[in-house]
Amino acid sequence: APGDDLVALSLRHLPAGRITLHARHWLEADLANAAIAVAEIDDEESARAFVSAARRVGVPYNVIDRPEFCQFQFGGIVNRSPVVVGISTAGAAPILGQAVRRRIETLLPDSLRHWAAFAEQVRATVMHKLPSPPQRRAFWERFAEKSFGSRPPASDDLDLTVPTPSGRVTLVGAGPGDAELLTLKAVRALQSADVILFDDLVSAEVLELARREAKRMLVGKRAERPSCAQEEINQLMLRLARQGKHVVRLKSGDPMIFGRAGEEIEMLERHGIPVSVVPGISAGIALASRLGLSLTHRDLAQSVQFVTGHSRDGGLPPDLDWHALAARSTTSIYYMSRRTLPKIVAELIAAGMDAATPSVIAADIGRASERLWHGALAESPAAVRDFDETAPTLFAVGRCMG
């Protein structure tokens, strides 16, 4: 019956003695002297009767999920007490409000409640020992940044020394373009960044999640287009980090797969700059999910190979093992392969791969401009001519692609 869920919820969550249950239909007298009147009513006639009764006794009323019969609304909350975030749609879309609450829940770690309580305990101490407003601000900014980690606060988090600002770099994988595929750690890095150095392939949707005050600098990195040299990017990261900034190097896909992250990490460590890596979903993995095809299959493929289709000089790397790549029991995905695809196909067939092996060409995977082609290996060189030369292109080959 209507109201059963509300009663069950109340009985489950309120302490004994805090709620009285009357197992009968409501009466107008029940509303007299109440602080609020809340009802779960399905039909309009009964809802109108409830509202009329509440008005006669002067009690604010709310008929659940019926905004036209409400004088007030209940907002959703995200409770990290003493941090509490309220969400309301003014009754227009309760389910949307619940979805917004869930999004915020994922962004605020449960440990935030402990950090907020700790801040309350030490506030007077900080005020006394750091009389200068800039010093206090520097302390609380460091404190706030640490509070979004997963651990609770420790005694050394009350370090009131004001050190020379220490810069750091975070290499973040932006995935294939869909912001829904970012990790929570990636979002938190973007929201704590002072400067974001991003590739041309990073979507505007992903950048929208970054801290508003962060400076954003495009550093290129797209086939057939002008871009910053890697050494220039390295020096820019180094200079910004030495200024005490948190630099996020935002790369499409996963930074550790064809992202030159190894060179950047080596350079930063050589100069004593702290560096960390946040993984992302590589385009090859996104392609498999998009197609609904497993890259491995017990009867078809027992291994996966990610292969660069683009060397330093623009051609294929000279030392690829084509016999291994042509094996029947593997799935191979060639990155940056728009220009070199015909040569890849020729080498695979020459190494013994069946010309009828299933293959997929994918450009802009996971974006609105996405384009896909399925067909036999031998047909792919003709098909790739219709693909934009500047689009990030994958070429997947193997029996699992059928």
What is the pLDDT, as a whole number, of residue 189? 92
What is the pLDDT, as a whole number, of residue 247? 96
What is the pLDDT, as a whole number, of residue 29? 93
Q: pLDDT tens, 355-380?
A: 999 999 999 998 889 999 999 999 99
Asked if residue 159 is part of any domain, the answer here is no
Asked if residue 65 is part of any domain, the answer here is yes
Q: Do 91 and 61 share a structural domain?
A: no
Structural domain ending residue among the three candidates 69, 90, 125:
69
What is the pLDDT, as a whole number, of residue 287? 95
Q: Do 378 and 295 share a structural domain?
A: yes
What is the pLDDT, as a whole number, of residue 13? 63
* Distance (Å, whole) CA 247 – CA 167: 8
Q: Do 28 and 44 share a structural domain?
A: yes
Structure tokens at 267: 């350079």
Q: Do 357 and 319 share a structural domain?
A: yes
* Distance (Å, whole) CA 203 – CA 186: 14
Q: What is the CATH number of the domain that holds 192?
A: 3.40.1010.10
Confidence of residue 301 (pLDDT cuts 50, 70, 90): very high
Q: Do 190 and 273 share a structural domain?
A: yes
Q: Do 198 and 225 share a structural domain?
A: yes
Which range (76-85, 234-243, 321-330) has the least confidence? 76-85
What is the pLDDT, as a whole number, of residue 334? 98
- pLDDT of 163 strictly over 70: no
Which range (99-108, 115-124, 132-141, 308-317) has the least confidence? 132-141
- pLDDT of 310 strictly over 80: yes
Asked if residue 121 is part of any domain, the answer here is no
Q: Do 276 and 215 share a structural domain?
A: yes
Confidence of residue 164 (pLDDT cuts 50, 70, 90): low
pTM comes to 0.73
- pLDDT of 12 strictly over 80: no
Indicate the number of domains in the chain.
4
Q: pLDDT tens, 111-127?
A: 999 999 999 999 999 88
Structure tokens at 347: 């080498």
* Distance (Å, whole) CA 395 – CA 360: 6
Q: Do 365 and 262 share a structural domain?
A: no
- pLDDT of 88 strictly over 90: no
**Averaged pLDDT for residues 19-29:** 84
Q: Do 355 and 305 share a structural domain?
A: yes
**Averaged pLDDT for residues 61-83:** 88
Asked if residue 145 is part of any domain, the answer here is no
**Averaged pLDDT for residues 73-77:** 84
* Distance (Å, whole) CA 81 – CA 88: 18
Which range (161-165, 194-198, 280-284) has the least confidence? 161-165
Catalytic residue numbers?
199, 221
Q: pLDDT tens, 176-214?
A: 989 999 998 999 899 889 999 999 899 999 999 998 999
SS3 157: helix
Percent share of the chain, pLDDT over 90: 63
**Averaged pLDDT for residues 15-27:** 77
Structural domain ending residue among the three candidates 281, 309, 331:
281
- pLDDT of 169 strictly over 60: yes
Q: pLDDT tens, 234-275?
A: 999 999 999 989 999 999 999 999 989 999 999 999 999 999
Q: What is the CATH number of the domain that holds 102?
A: 3.30.160
Asked if residue 22 is part of any domain, the answer here is yes
DSSP annotation string for 242-272: HTT-EEEEEESB-TTSSS-HHHHHHHHHHTT
Structure tokens at 294: 């497993």
Any bridge partners for residue 251, and if so which? 173
Containing domain of residue 90, as a range?
Answer: 76-107
Q: Do 91 and 20 share a structural domain?
A: no
Asked if residues 152 and 114 have their Cβ atoms less than 8 Å apart, the reply is yes
Confidence of residue 73 (pLDDT cuts 50, 70, 90): confident
* Mean confidence (pLDDT) of the chain: 89
Asked if residues 377 and 355 have their Cβ atoms less than 8 Å apart, the reply is yes
Pick the more confident residue, 92 or 47. Answer: 47
**Averaged pLDDT for residues 149-175:** 82
Q: Do 358 and 317 share a structural domain?
A: yes
Confidence of residue 2 (pLDDT cuts 50, 70, 90): low
What is the pLDDT, as a whole number, of residue 160? 74
